[in-house]
Structure 1
């Protein structure tokens, strides 16, 4: 009987400890609920759990990094389309425009990652200035991604392929922007706590 009670006490203590200690994945899942595409958000950020821990800044940086990596991949994909033979003139021009737009998107996201890396030591007006830069650049990248598939005319295989890639890129960037905004709001609340 004594052994049974001992094992029950150990089990209860173990369950109590695991139930009260939130994990990095719990933090990611809770944070991703504030995005428009929460399941995509969790899927994209789960491999960053070790570096994110419970940090809003690290979460925002990871989300923007995911967006940057996808934007680079999408830019490379669209660049390959420009070399496909048989493109109609309107498709070729739309692909070239999309490459230019996505190059700007990559630059904006890259600047955002660099800015977020340096924000660990900023407060007050410095924080506001850096945060404003990040919010503007990520928002600009999202706008560019939404524009990219509009120049292809009414229909066609090339438009369908590019639109599919752009929709995914836009969803990833939309999630990144939501988490950047969440970081900004939570940081400001922490500063103004009595």
Structure 2
């Protein structure tokens, strides 16, 4: 009877432990695969740590799709570009802004508007790739490159010590981040294009 009681106690303990931790080790390990895919892919970018931070939240949607990875990277870049564009637009109303700063802000507003337009086009175009893959991808690469140029042109407008101040610091911080995210997105777009081209070769 004592042995039977001990056996039942052990069996009950095992059942409780199994219920408290029902997920097998294999399943937990498998759930990390999308994040590992993102980390590996982000090594192709200029800012891999930023790349991982921006995209890890979308691991379930990305899974292990090169196209979805590039699409998500572009969408994140577009979202940040819109936010930065709105922020820059408000800087013309800063009290005590200098004439040169004001003009640089006006130019940056135009640059960031172009950035938003080009990234929007890129997101739509990448979603349409299928037939004429190379033509669609060429459009995406051209527009994302142009968006990155616009962002850097905005930053160039604040170069020089005479522009130093709170306006320059605030805008550079926002726009530089967008430029880094856009650079990463372009790298992932190029990666997707090159991998697809290689796979299509006989």
TM-score range, shorter chain: 0.7 to 0.9
Q: For residues 65 and 83 of structure 1, what CA distance do their matches in structure 2 show?
A: 29
Return the offset for 1:18: 6.5
- For the pair 1:136 / 2:142, whether they are aligned, the reply is yes
Partner of 1:146: 152
**CA separation of 1:55/1:84 partners in 2, compared to 1, >3 Å: closer, same or farther?**
same
Partner of 1:64: 74
Partner of 2:36: 26
> What pairs with 1:40-119 in structure 2 (closer than 5 Å)?
40-119=50-129
- For the pair 1:163 / 2:177, whether they are aligned, the reply is no
Q: State the Cα RMSD in Å.
A: 1.9
User: TM-score if structure 2 supplies the norm length?
Assistant: 0.82
Q: Is 140-149 or 67-76 further displaced after alignment?
A: 140-149
User: TM-score if structure 1 supplies the norm length?
Assistant: 0.85
Q: Is 19-28 or 183-192 further displaced after alignment?
A: 19-28
Task: Please state whether the residue corresponding to 1:118 is helix, strand or coil.
Answer: coil
Return the offset for 1:149: 2.1
Partner of 1:176: 185
In the comparison of the two structures, how many residue pairs are matched? Answer: 178
Partner of 2:194: 185
Return the offset for 1:112: 0.3
Note the residue ranges of structure 2 that are not aligned, 5 or more in a row.
1-23
**CA separation of 1:166/1:21 partners in 2, compared to 1, >3 Å: closer, same or farther?**
closer
Q: For residues 28 and 198 of structure 2, what CA distance do their matches in structure 1 show?
A: 29
Note the residue ranges of structure 1 that are not aligned, 5 or more in a row.
1-13
Return the offset for 1:84: 1.5
Deviation beyond 3 Å, 4+ runs, structure 1: 14-22
